[in-house]
Amino acid sequence: MIRIVKNSVAFSGDNVSATVEYDFGGAAYTLSVEGKIEQVMKMTGAQLKAFVLGKVALARQARGKAVAQSVLEAVADVDLEAQ
């Protein structure tokens, strides 16, 4: 699930920002996405969708890295053949 929260769109100077909700590993998270108003105005719906999907992919990757690191640290320096 990935969606832009409708009432979260805000403008400040020449920037626009919005909150994006997404899921990862069964939990819900939020991410703030920002861009220049002029840049967003020139985007098609498909380009905007690709932009948001890319940002969420990076956020999911970062969360996945943290989870993987935690799992690997639990078995690091342990004799995996010993019981």
Domain contains 30? yes
The residues near 17 (Cβ < 8 Å, ≥ 6 apart) are 8, 9, 10, 11, 32, 33, 34, 35
Domain contains 20? yes
Structure tokens at 5: 């929260």
Domain contains 56? yes
**pLDDT tens digit string along 35-72?**
999 999 999 999 999 999 999 999 999 999 988 998 99
Q: Would the pLDDT of 4 be above 90?
A: yes
**Parent domain of 32:** 2-75
| H and E: helices and strands count for the chain | 2, 4
Domain contains 62? yes
Domain contains 38? yes
Domain contains 80? no
Give this prediction's pTM. Answer: 0.80
**pLDDT tens digit string along 19-32?**
999 999 999 999 99
Q: How many domains does the chain have?
A: 1
